[in-house]
Structure 1
Amino acid sequence: MGTATISEDNNTIVAGGDWTLEHLNGLSALSKSLLQRVNGKISVDASAIGRIDTAGASILLELVEDDANRVMVESEAVRKLLAVVAKAQNATPAVEHKPDTGFLSSVANIGAALEEFREKSVALVGFIGLILSAFSRTVLQPGKWRMTSTIAHIEQTGLNALPIVGLLCFLVGAVVAFLGATVLKEFGASIYTVELVGYSFLREFGVLLTAIMVAGRSGSAFTAQIGSMKAREEVDAIRTLGLEPVDVLVMPRVLALLVSMPILTLVGMLAGLVGGAAVCIFALDISPTMFIVRLHETTTVRHFWVGMSKAPIFAFLIAAIGCLEGFKVSGSAESVGSHTTSSVVQSIFVVILIDALAAIFFMEIDV
């Protein structure tokens, strides 16, 4: 255990022995006893100390009021130890501020959200440019096309999604027809339910419902797949092999969705029309022949092309967002989950935003 005695001039404490954690209780008692017997500033002669650690250094510094310059030592290592402990003990503790829940906090949260939106928008635009650059680089080199991967993704995103897209659009078509018939019946205009179903599904609902389903089904799958590869460092392995991850992972998914989305949109439109026709036939006494004839007479083909023109745009954006969020994964399972959720939310938001802008545009040009 460490020892300490007061010199004859009562200005210096001579310390010796071992000042370590195992003797902490005894050293604390010794320090209190010495402080009661001395007055004013004193120095400590620690040249005779054998072993010392941070616990012993802390007790030693109590004798000199945390002033390491008043401790005389011969070892440079002990001097550095005392300096580090003194610095730690003299550090001002961080003041814990209570969170501001007032007006300024609300403004700060809005600013943070806008900044995050700006960063994500810039990242998405840059990633879209990267995809277009990769496409222009490989479009004239058929040897670099990854047809096997592309066809596999077409099956996953297109063929396997047909049942759920068809069922969803059929049910929504039936609901739209029910609502339209309920309102129009009061005006004696139930027959116009045919136009309501035709316009809504050919222009908006067919492509919009399909895009939302694809965003939740395929966009999230893209993020999870690439994110898992990022977590297992497979993306780094692709770079090590001299390949571009955008060419290997992104392009097949983008091309697959560009092929699948128009097909799914067409199926969604037809399913919605069938759902609306079923309601008209069984609830409004409109025969199948009358439904088809009226749909043919009142609904022009331009409504179909308005809806189909949005399908490739939605497909490209959903694939880009899904792949971009996958590359943002940091490596943990929690990160994969959070970025998958973010991918679905961003995709649905962008799809609805672009659809609203497209609706305004087509209305202004009278299409």
Structure 2
Amino acid sequence: MPDTRAPGFALDESGEVLRLRLSGDWTVMTIHQVAEGIEALQPARPLQVDVSGLARIDTAGAYLIDKAMRAAPAGSGLEGDHAVARHLLQQVHAVSDPVPPARRPDHGFTALLERTGRGFMNILSELVATLAFLGETLVTTLRLLMNPWKMRWTSVVAVMEEAGLDAMPIIAFLSFFVGLVVAFIGATTLRDFDLEIYTVELIGYSMLREFGVVLTGIVLAGRTNSSFTAQIGTMKMRQEIDAMQTLGLKPMDVLVAPRIIAMVLMTPALAFVATAAGIAGGIVVGWTSLDINPGVFIERLRNNVPVDQFWAGIAKAPVFGFVVSLIACRQGLNVGGSVQSLGHSTTTSVVQALFAIIVLDAMFAVYYMEMGI
């Protein structure tokens, strides 16, 4: 063990400021010799601590010195050069800052305006960050599509199976029962006007144009979106993404682009299955409650519902798939190092995806109305 020098200090009160000159080793093994004297200091003027005479210092010694500086009026500081002392004192001072008292809740009008403004600014910052991530995603995806040999097609196919084929049964199941409900409501309402036969048109327009693709988007937002966010977020927590970057791999190429491409390809297929399942539910109601033969139902549907209604609905599917996967990947990459951060990001991801699907569907509806579709 190296020789230990006893710690010491000298207080110079001759100038406008007090100068505390330190000497010896200020470590956990020695500071008990000067702790009482340092704690007894109650400087009435700013205190300048001269660390040029220090030998060794550790966190315990730095804490004792910082405590003396905190007891002095404003304007206190360090002087002199030391290889470790200044940096260690800065660290101790940073972690020793007192925690501010919790603010009492303010329920006044000013607090309402403050919360409203803060919420609005948070929405704007979130929108700007999402648009920036959208631009980066588009550039990355287009670059990989222009160079298909760089694309990780195995990952794309795996995501298509996990997020597409595995989701098909639940989407078909839900759409079938939604078709049943819409048909029952339509038949009950139209029966009062002796127009039960128009239940066929109601099912055709609603499932082809709206419900098939919207149900697909909602299921993807609740199932696939949360899965993507949790997967990427867990990788972020385990520092796997940092290791990936160390190896020269880009997370946008490896994690984001395959999911984007897989969802854009699979969402139209899922929307088609949802539409067919919803129509099947309507056929069941028409057959059992309205005495409409399935052949008659399908023929009337084919003759009275234009095929452009199918394309109007299916055209939304790639957009919904792109937006859902975009939000999921962005929130996954925003996860911090805690489990709470993962849960918060997953919840935020699902809420944003559901909100985006409803808003986009409304925008499509306005666009189709203006275009006369």
**Match status 1:318 vs 2:311:** no
User: Where has structure 1 moved over 6 Å in runs of 4 or more?
Assistant: 75-78
The residue correspondences of 1:119-268 to structure 2 (distance < 5 A) are 119-268=125-274
| TM-score of the two chains, using structure 1 as the length reference | 0.78
After TM superposition, the structure 1 stretch with the greater mean CA deviation from structure 2, 258-267 or 330-339, is: 330-339
Q: CA offsets, 1:36-71, max 9 Å, x none? A: xxxxxxxxxxxxxx9232x6544x34xxx653789x
How many residue pairs get aligned? The number is 313
**Match status 1:340 vs 2:346:** yes
The code of the aligned residue for 1:142 comes to: P
The code of the aligned residue for 2:236 comes to: K
Give 1:327's aligned residue.
Answer: 333
Give 2:311's aligned residue.
Answer: 305
Give 1:14's aligned residue.
Answer: none
The question of whether the paired residues in 2 share the 8 Å contact of 1:227 and 1:328 is answered with yes
Give 2:44's aligned residue.
Answer: 67
Residue 76 of structure 1, CA deviation? 7.6
The question of whether the paired residues in 1 share the 8 Å contact of 2:45 and 2:73 is answered with no
Distance 2:251 2:128 in 1: 20
The residue correspondences of 1:260-279 to structure 2 (distance < 5 A) are 260-279=266-285
Distance 2:141 2:68 in 1: 60
CA distance change for structure 1 residues 96 and 146 in 2, over 3 Å: closer, same or farther?
Answer: closer
**Match status 1:52 vs 2:34:** yes
Q: Secondary structure at the match of 1:139?
A: helix
Structure 1 alignment gaps of length 5 or more: 1-49
The question of whether the paired residues in 1 share the 8 Å contact of 2:46 and 2:72 is answered with no
Distance 2:66 2:213 in 1: 70
The question of whether the paired residues in 2 share the 8 Å contact of 1:68 and 1:86 is answered with no
Give 1:28's aligned residue.
Answer: none
Distance 2:43 2:200 in 1: 88
Distance 2:308 2:153 in 1: 33
Residue 283 of structure 1, CA deviation? 1.3
Residue 225 of structure 1, CA deviation? 0.8
Residue 132 of structure 1, CA deviation? 1.4
| TM-score of the two chains, using structure 2 as the length reference | 0.77
The code of the aligned residue for 1:67 comes to: A
**Match status 1:85 vs 2:68:** yes
The question of whether the paired residues in 1 share the 8 Å contact of 2:179 and 2:279 is answered with yes
Distance 1:353 1:223 in 2: 21
**Match status 1:103 vs 2:109:** yes
Distance 1:95 1:263 in 2: 56
Q: CA offsets, 1:222-262, max 9 Å, x none? A: 11111111111111111111121101111111111111100
Q: CA offsets, 1:264-323, max 9 Å, x none? A: 000000000011111111112222122112111110001000001100111111111100
- Aligned alpha-carbon RMSD (Å): 2.9
The question of whether the paired residues in 2 share the 8 Å contact of 1:68 and 1:82 is answered with no
Residue 173 of structure 1, CA deviation? 0.7
Give 1:34's aligned residue.
Answer: none
Distance 2:65 2:353 in 1: 58
Q: Secondary structure at the match of 2:106?
A: coil
Give 2:20's aligned residue.
Answer: none
CA distance change for structure 1 residues 145 and 194 in 2, over 3 Å: closer, same or farther?
Answer: same
Distance 1:258 1:361 in 2: 21
Q: Whose Rg is larger?
A: 1
The question of whether the paired residues in 1 share the 8 Å contact of 2:160 and 2:266 is answered with yes
CA distance change for structure 1 residues 97 and 143 in 2, over 3 Å: closer, same or farther?
Answer: closer
Q: CA offsets, 1:93-114, max 9 Å, x none? A: 9676422112222222222222
Residue 86 of structure 1, CA deviation? 6.2
